[in-house]
Structure 1
Amino acid sequence: MTTASWIDEFPTRIAALDAAHLRRRRRAVVPTEGAHLLVDGTPMLAFCSNDYLGLAAHPALAEAACAGTREFGVGSGGSPLVSGHSLANAELEDDLARFVQLPRALYFYAGFATNVGIIPALVGAGDALFSDELNHACLIDGARLSRATVHRYPHANLAALDALLAASPARRKLVITDAIFSMDGDVADLRALLALCERHDALLLIDDAHGFGVLGPEGRGTLAEAGLTGAGASSRVLYMATLSKAAGAAGAFVAGPEALIEWLVQKTRSYIFATAAPALLARALQASLRVIATEGWRREHLTQRITQLRDGLAPLLQGTHWQLGDSRTAVQALVIGANDEALAAMDGLRARGLWVPAIRPPTVPESTARLRIALSAAHTEADVAQLLGALAELAPRAGKAA
């Protein structure tokens, strides 16, 4: 008698994802102009990109990447602690530290790899880690890998965090949080979080993936917006941000006190044992920092599109069960509820030439499936008006089928 192999179960398990409206599909995209893409060969107006400032196609970045390729070649050839730490990467770290007004920065090849590596380098077995329940998956996975005792606190509930910190007997405590929560777009109270960390002798790690380049003076991020950089910097804060969103390229960095960054150089496995990012990206990112600092009109234009969307949705949503999240950022969550209804709304938008992704559990809590609308400086007033018109046609009304 032949025993069925567990490997043969995968088709059934994939079918179960389909039945629950949880199967995800990739689509091949080609950028065209502004926020427009070819998606599987079909022209679409996209509201799904994290390219918040529209820099991914900026000529200055492309020219810098080409010059970096001519100067250094395509690959880095080794890990940063062997031969992969190019002159361009070293200069980028200095530029990043100056830009965010913190003592030192460490450049990584990817944001996910940054957080899953630095958290286990900071705490381990016997230590305590405190995580907002809506943190991004890379923070959650980093916490799991650390083997520290993990305490999840209700989203943005500082009283609950205070109580958990007070009750913990651990000598080493680490609080980890998104600065802007990726599925809701709300902003963490960084000053209040730091005050709690000071009270309980904890270290604070902030992931500013969605705020770097967008918020704060000259786009220096949420930490700068909170007045916690430069003269206001704290020795118990580590600031992490990605370079694949508003910066328009790829990679990530963590910045903070000299001793903490040096410790991460010595102990972060995803840094030590991975090939370094190629120098051509570092050159592109140096150009990106200059554009972010000098082309402030991009942030102003993005703010105008955020206001236009929110003002336009307010009357449209009256009398519906759809809800718009409380966000002042480029991430706007239109919560619909059921998975199938969110998928139907996404399909309705796609039929109208608009690409807005439906986000479903487990990425978001059960019964909060949503359209995640990502705005960019590449969007025009007409683009947002087109989206609002399509949503007005799709929004459920009393006596109308959802």
Structure 2
Amino acid sequence: MTRVGLSPLAWLDEVEAQRRAAGLRRSLRARRPVGAELDLASNDYLGLSQHPRVIDGGITALRTWGAGSTGSRLVTGNTELHEEFEDALAGFVGAESALVFSSGYTANLGAVVALSGPGSLLVSDAYTHASLVDACRLSRARVAVTSHNDVAAVERVLAGRDEERAVFVTDSVFSADGDLAPLRELHAVCRRHGALMIVDEAHGLGVRGDGGRGLLDEAGLAGAPDVVMTTTLSKALGSQGGVVLGPAGVRAHLIDAARTFIFDTGLAPAAVGAAHAALQVLVDEPWRAQRVLDHAATLAEICGVVDVPSSAVVSVILGDPEVAVAAAAACLDHGVRAGCFRPPTVPAGTSRLRLTARASLTDDEMTLARQVLTEVLAPA
């Protein structure tokens, strides 16, 4: 068939039309430096992205080390600051070692791919984050996806495997619903069958565990020799970057084998300095973790969500994507910024407002949230 004159990107018009018809077209909206709206959409759970100590930590690092890390960490991108922060974070969560990546996404890709590979089995919870899904696809391992939080299903897959090595991956706190993984039970299954467990604590660090040390700490699994923790610095710590934490042997292996570490420019020093300062604020002010959960419970009550939230996330399911978009727009019109999750981020028929609590919310802000959310979510 002759295709002369046909644009190779002509198919994009049809795809865009399909997305618009389904109410799934997305667009970027720039926010102002200091928003006039009440923010109930960001992942700044501890309210540290604008904290003076955190900003000063970033500025000091910027002036000391420069704007960029200048190369991969194996060449010129590794500073004393990176290693000091790794030691501090590992000590805080009870891990033997830590390795900083440029983002939480690259940390997950690097850890999962480097710790699995051809001839191994990867078992993944159905609701794991997209970065873990992509890591499974890149791993060249055999991948088995189990129903959400289904401990028995994980056991069946691990028990029936032929592969010598197996890895189970899960979020600790799931980003869309905010529910918790049954880590103790899952770890017991992994240990019975000689499988490594990789847990993404992106939404657990700073919110769950003693003083915000994460759900692994709460489950009594901090520092376990068969558990690897990944996390991001862009949520509770208000900065940017990712980290893999676990046994020292894992860190050494990732330095040699994780392509997203070896071939990626190191995390900018300003982000490391800000994250390190945020960690120190959390150490000094452990009350912030409980404050997040308290505010989340209030937001759930306001929105008529029956279950008390287990994390910073309050999911208000509205069903139709256009209804969810309209509700988010109405909230913004009244001065409250709410997250809006639609397929493929969440399953079809479960489009929702995704509200996030923040430790720094004031009484006046909570009053505004009650007024606006009550009005927007009132039955028509």
With normalisation by structure 2, the TM-score equals: 0.95
Say what the alpha-carbon RMSD is for the aligned residues: 1.6
CA contact (8 A) 1:325 1:332 kept: no
Counterpart of 1:378 in structure 2 is 360
Counterpart of 2:108 in structure 1 is 115
Counterpart of 2:226 in structure 1 is 236
Q: Which runs of 5+ in 1 are unaligned?
A: 38-42, 315-322
Counterpart of 1:86 in structure 2 is 79
Deviation at 1:396, TM superposition (A): 5.4
Counterpart of 1:286 in structure 2 is 276
CA contact (8 A) 2:113 2:138 kept: yes
Are residues 1:176 and 2:180 paired?
A: no
Are residues 1:335 and 2:317 paired?
A: yes
Deviation at 1:296, TM superposition (A): 2.2
When structure 1 is superposed on structure 2, of 244-253 and 7-16 the one drifting more is 7-16
Counterpart of 2:22 in structure 1 is 20
Alpha-carbon distance in structure 2 between the residues aligned to 1:352 and 1:278:
37
Q: Secondary structure at the match of 1:152?
A: strand
Deviation at 1:3, TM superposition (A): 5.2
Matched residue type, 2:134: D
Are residues 1:195 and 2:195 paired?
A: no
Counterpart of 2:51 in structure 1 is 58
* 1:21-75 superposed Cα distances (whole Å, 9 cap, x missing partner): 111111111242xxxx1xxxxx322211100000001111111211112211111
Counterpart of 1:319 in structure 2 is none
Q: Residues 123 and 300 (structure 1 numbering): CA distance in 2 closer, same or farther, change over 3 Å?
A: closer
When structure 1 is superposed on structure 2, of 293-302 and 101-110 the one drifting more is 293-302
**Equivalent runs, 1:34-45 vs 2, <5 Å:** 37=35, 43-45=36-38
Q: 1:166 aligns with which of 159, 163, 170?
A: 159
Are residues 1:132 and 2:125 paired?
A: yes
Identical counterparts, % of pairs: 38
* 1:103-129 superposed Cα distances (whole Å, 9 cap, x missing partner): 111011100111112211111122111
CA contact (8 A) 1:185 1:326 kept: no
Deviation at 1:189, TM superposition (A): 1.2
Q: 1:313 aligns with which of 280, 284, 303?
A: 303
CA contact (8 A) 1:324 1:334 kept: no
With normalisation by structure 1, the TM-score equals: 0.90
CA contact (8 A) 2:300 2:309 kept: no
Q: Secondary structure at the match of 1:356?
A: strand
Q: Residues 7 and 286 (structure 1 numbering): CA distance in 2 closer, same or farther, change over 3 Å?
A: same
Counterpart of 2:333 in structure 1 is 351
Alpha-carbon distance in structure 2 between the residues aligned to 1:351 and 1:270:
41
Q: Secondary structure at the match of 1:176?
A: strand
Matched residue type, 2:27: R
Deviation at 1:381, TM superposition (A): 2.8
* 1:313-342 superposed Cα distances (whole Å, 9 cap, x missing partner): 33xxxxxxxx66663211110011111111
Q: 1:276 aligns with which of 250, 253, 266?
A: 266
Deviation at 1:383, TM superposition (A): 2.1
Counterpart of 1:320 in structure 2 is none
CA contact (8 A) 2:296 2:357 kept: yes
